Structure 1
Amino acid sequence: MADTFPFIVTTPDDRSGDGKRRLVRSHVMRGKNLKRRPSRPPSCISVHPGDVNPSSTRKDPSILAGGCEVSYEIRSSTDLDPHTLETMRQLRRAIGPPDLGLAENQSELSWLEPIKSDPACLHFTMFVAGMWKDSIAVRGEQNTISQASLVSYGKVLNLLQQRFTDGASDVSTSDSSLIVVTGLVMGSLALCDFKTALNHLKGLHQMIVLRGGLSTLNGNRRLQFKICRADISVALSTGCDVYFLSDTEISWDSYIASLDSRDLYNSQETSTLSKELVVGMPEKLFIIWDDLSEVVRAINIAAQCARSVDFELYQEAMISIHYRLIKLEPELKIFDELIRLTLLGFCSGVFLQWRGVKFRFKHLAQQLMMILRHIGIDDEMSIGSFRMVLWSILVSAISVLDEQEAASLRPALKKTARRMGMTSWSEIETILKSFLWINNYHSAPAREFIETTLA
């Protein structure tokens, strides 16, 4: 009976409540100090099948909130002239992830360190900064590259070729060399030069193989993330398979969400996803949806509470969710395929886009346009299907499609809204939020698209 909580009797004449308050506080806090911050889920990059004990990989979505502290030992960057530094600062802001309240604790000096220590990194950064400053690739358009940028680009290629020719693996496959080649992949994608991007990616893959595999970069998590981002971006742009995670290396288990989520969906009267779609959704697709919903929930809560989202887990979720969605393609029904493609479109906007550069994921855009046209707007469709099409059209329009492609979907959007009896943005926004939706990121462009369509 030692753990039982005694009754506390208080009367109006009882003025000495200090002891009672201490007793209550002691009972409430019992065991609180024993709780630890939940551990991270294992990385999907560095963990190979059979390397991890299942009992040690418990996932907890609560670790999305908060942030991590990272320390760096960096030399001074005063040897770079002020103009160069300012150009690099502008570039860093332009290529940062979308403003989602991420706890990205990378200092400016740590970002500049490889640029200072490696001439190839320096010239590549000047090449990209020059393109960005001249407004090249801001909308994925191919424009004439300035002479200064071409000179920097030539120096980058010469330095890399010299390293590969010399055959010194410690230099040719060094972190800084990998950074440069990864940057060449992304730069080519920004220019919509998909063939060159794919060639650079193949070279990057050979470098990683010589290095000993992607897991050898465990000490440089940011570089791992950059490489996987480039791999995923090329796949979505060209339709080629991914290079850095094979079928046997991908885990189909839930990465963040709880394992009983489907039962929870079925038990709720109002689910975040229409029940008719949940019931028929393949298990793997549902698990991916559930993982992504935890990321979205964390981002929305962080925005409401002025908190930050764990940057490393955000990146891990990006890799895990994208690779699974890309590999899930076969044996899907048409609405399951619509969900898969829309999730890829949703993720490409949230995880892959930069602030100052709009990437054109051509293959994904073509797939989305094809399936939306194939489904059409059938009056016999259920309300749940109409809602799914509405959400898919808007996610595609604001995240993946160009202006002309998005405009071609306006008639279907108008017909869908009319069929559902929706005439205003507020009504449609309620529907969108019942799916996956980041308020501070999606609502403004979606509202503009809706109101110009229904006007």
Structure 2
Amino acid sequence: MASSTATEGGRRFSSFIVSNSIEKHDTATRKLIRSHAKRGRSHQKSMVSRLKPGNWINGYRDKNDSDPKLIQNGSEITFVRTQFDGSDLTVTRFAFDNTQPYMLDLIFKFCTVIKQSMYPIELCLAFDYRGSIWFQYLQSDPMYLHSTLWTTQAYFDWVKGQGSSLASMNHETNTLHLLQRRLVDPKTATSDITIAVVVTLVMMTILLGNHEAARKHIAGLHMMVTMRGGLHMLKENTQLQIKVCRADLVIALMNGTRPLFFSVDISWQPYLPPTKPNQLALAIQTPYLNNDIRLAAVWTDLRQFCISANVAFQTDQKIHPEVYQEILISIEYRLMHLICKDRSLETLHLAILAFSTTVFLQTEGVRVRYHDLSRQLHDSVLRLGASNQTPELWLWILFIAAISAVTDEDDQWLMPLLRAAFRRTGTTTWEPVRDILKSIMWIDALHDKDGKRVFDLVLLTYAEHFLSS
């Protein structure tokens, strides 16, 4: 089970209004629209020098490819950087003719807020929604359009802490009615659009807290994809593949179960091209990784990604969203299907998995923590103790346990352990602690704020303990 907390961060979500020739918005509204639209401006640089993966989902990569450009399905990914202010929505023909102003507003919110929030703004290029398959579906398929209007309205209803609005319930009814008709027709039951809407249904049930329904929906989705011939049959629609995999991973993490996809024949090889020829060999020689080459391979990929992400952030480069998701999928599936029998290795495995969720499976404005994973890491840390880990690695494990705790109160058990870890590493200020964390695995733009919060909390609890003793 997961805990989600929505924070508006100063945004007035209700103010996202589509511009048209009739309405003129005030200065504040125009500024608000621009703040989300400008994510895709051309000053962002694409990060292509190091992250050059092929398609892990479909199990192939051209190992002889030395071209520094990103390749997908045999064609170069275009790094489109466009500013989307919503003004062209009023002249766009959507799947039904009676598109009302509030619907255009919801479509704009979906394109600029919800879709963009799936990728960390600090690391990724803006998602070019108009060039995606999803925008084509909005223009061509009434069921998908209704599902988008439903989920977007429901999301903002949820953010504002209110019950389902009339608009949300209306679009939900239409979505489910059209979906039922598609599912009983063999010609459309496993089509790309039907699968896409079922994925949306899975994520909506999670958002609304109905985890039992989400489990049933993901099982149905897995059956649909199996009937289609397997996930690789969606290879011409990689955006849909990514969406299916992300839903599978989120449901598995929330329920403490294994993902349904990639349960057999998973590749345990490192996915990212190594920065050094002997990178995996060095990882295997590390004392806490030499017992499992599979975990060493994941460690190699994730650590390389963190290093590259830090360099990219410092040099104002960005990662293409689909490449970011591809890395997510390759790392998360391997971690979640991995079984470690060694207790000390399992603690490290859980810490790496918890760390990876802070990188890949978060949404801007919504803090998602996974109860079962947090509990497992808590129990494993208490069973293990610090004896079998280097002081630096143990400090990193404790920080990850604190950052991934479900609530701020859940990390109190870590305070005495962290104080002891500070003594073992001889650190008393944030800068050397941060240096240790970065030497293991750390992304400045994503983790510094939470890391400093944990550090300050340790000092505060230590001071309170000292004064009360």
Task: Settle same-fold status: TM greater than 0.5.
Answer: yes
Give the structure 1 partner of residue 31 of structure 2.
Answer: none
Measured after TM superposition, the shift of residue 285 of structure 1 is: 0.7
The answer to whether the aligner puts 1:217 opposite 2:234 as a matched pair is: yes
Q: 2:268 aligns with which of 248, 252, 257?
A: 252
Give the structure 2 partner of residue 207 of structure 1.
Answer: 224
Give the structure 1 partner of residue 245 of structure 2.
Answer: 228
The separation in 2 between residues aligned to 1:62 and 1:450, in whole angstroms, is 39
Name the amino acid aligned to 1:398: I
Q: Which has the larger radius of gyration?
A: 1
Measured after TM superposition, the shift of residue 78 of structure 1 is: 5.3
Give the structure 1 partner of residue 20 of structure 2.
Answer: none
The separation in 2 between residues aligned to 1:191 and 1:391, in whole angstroms, is 33
Name the amino acid aligned to 2:454: F
The separation in 2 between residues aligned to 1:191 and 1:407, in whole angstroms, is 29
Give the structure 1 partner of residue 447 of structure 2.
Answer: 442
Give the structure 1 partner of residue 357 of structure 2.
Answer: 348
Matches within 5 A, 1:242-321: 242-248=259-265, 250-258=266-274, 260-264=278-282, 275-278=286-289, 280-321=290-331
**Secondary structure at the residue paired with 1:145?**
coil
The separation in 2 between residues aligned to 1:81 and 1:204, in whole angstroms, is 32
- The answer to whether the 8 A contact 1:247-1:327 is kept is no
**CA distances 1:95-149 after superposition (whole Å, capped 9, x unpaired):** 421223323552336443322322222222222222321244x9xx9x7434432
**Secondary structure at the residue paired with 2:330?**
helix
The answer to whether the aligner puts 1:394 opposite 2:399 as a matched pair is: yes
**Secondary structure at the residue paired with 1:204?**
helix
Give the structure 1 partner of residue 56 of structure 2.
Answer: 44
- The answer to whether the 8 A contact 1:390-1:417 is kept is yes
Name the amino acid aligned to 1:204: L
Name the amino acid aligned to 2:360: F
Give the structure 2 partner of residue 118 of structure 1.
Answer: 141
Indicate how the Cα distance of structure 1 residues 197 and 358 shifts in structure 2: closer, same or farther if over 3 A, else same: farther
The separation in 2 between residues aligned to 1:86 and 1:408, in whole angstroms, is 46
Name the amino acid aligned to 2:261: F
Measured after TM superposition, the shift of residue 182 of structure 1 is: 0.7
- The answer to whether the 8 A contact 2:295-2:349 is kept is yes
78-87 or 282-291, which deviates more: 78-87
**Secondary structure at the residue paired with 2:258?**
coil
Q: 2:103 aligns with which of 81, 84, 89?
A: 84
How large is the Cα RMSD of the aligned pairs?
Answer: 3.2
Measured after TM superposition, the shift of residue 44 of structure 1 is: 2.4
Give the structure 2 partner of residue 97 of structure 1.
Answer: 119
Percent identity reads 29
**CA distances 1:348-372 after superposition (whole Å, capped 9, x unpaired):** 1211211133334232222122212
Q: 1:406 aligns with which of 407, 411, 421?
A: 411
The separation in 2 between residues aligned to 1:201 and 1:430, in whole angstroms, is 41
Give the structure 2 partner of residue 185 of structure 1.
Answer: 202
Indicate how the Cα distance of structure 1 residues 265 and 176 shifts in structure 2: closer, same or farther if over 3 A, else same: closer
- The answer to whether the 8 A contact 1:64-1:295 is kept is no
The separation in 2 between residues aligned to 1:134 and 1:220, in whole angstroms, is 31
**Secondary structure at the residue paired with 2:174?**
helix
- The answer to whether the 8 A contact 2:328-2:360 is kept is yes
The separation in 2 between residues aligned to 1:206 and 1:403, in whole angstroms, is 39
- The answer to whether the 8 A contact 1:114-1:121 is kept is yes
Name the amino acid aligned to 2:300: D
**Secondary structure at the residue paired with 1:99?**
coil
- The answer to whether the 8 A contact 1:190-1:360 is kept is no
Indicate how the Cα distance of structure 1 residues 147 and 358 shifts in structure 2: closer, same or farther if over 3 A, else same: farther
Measured after TM superposition, the shift of residue 418 of structure 1 is: 3.4
Measured after TM superposition, the shift of residue 320 of structure 1 is: 1.2
Indicate how the Cα distance of structure 1 residues 37 and 302 shifts in structure 2: closer, same or farther if over 3 A, else same: closer
Measured after TM superposition, the shift of residue 309 of structure 1 is: 1.8
The separation in 2 between residues aligned to 1:264 and 1:387, in whole angstroms, is 17
Indicate how the Cα distance of structure 1 residues 252 and 46 shifts in structure 2: closer, same or farther if over 3 A, else same: same
Indicate how the Cα distance of structure 1 residues 38 and 442 shifts in structure 2: closer, same or farther if over 3 A, else same: closer
- The answer to whether the 8 A contact 2:70-2:77 is kept is no
Indicate how the Cα distance of structure 1 residues 184 and 282 shifts in structure 2: closer, same or farther if over 3 A, else same: same
The separation in 1 between residues aligned to 2:409 and 2:67, in whole angstroms, is 39
- The answer to whether the 8 A contact 1:236-1:364 is kept is yes
The answer to whether the aligner puts 1:150 opposite 2:172 as a matched pair is: no
Measured after TM superposition, the shift of residue 63 of structure 1 is: 6.0
Measured after TM superposition, the shift of residue 408 of structure 1 is: 3.6
The separation in 2 between residues aligned to 1:212 and 1:70, in whole angstroms, is 31
> What are the ranges of 5 or more consecutive residues in structure 2 without an aligned counterpart?
1-47, 81-87, 461-469
Indicate how the Cα distance of structure 1 residues 191 and 396 shifts in structure 2: closer, same or farther if over 3 A, else same: farther
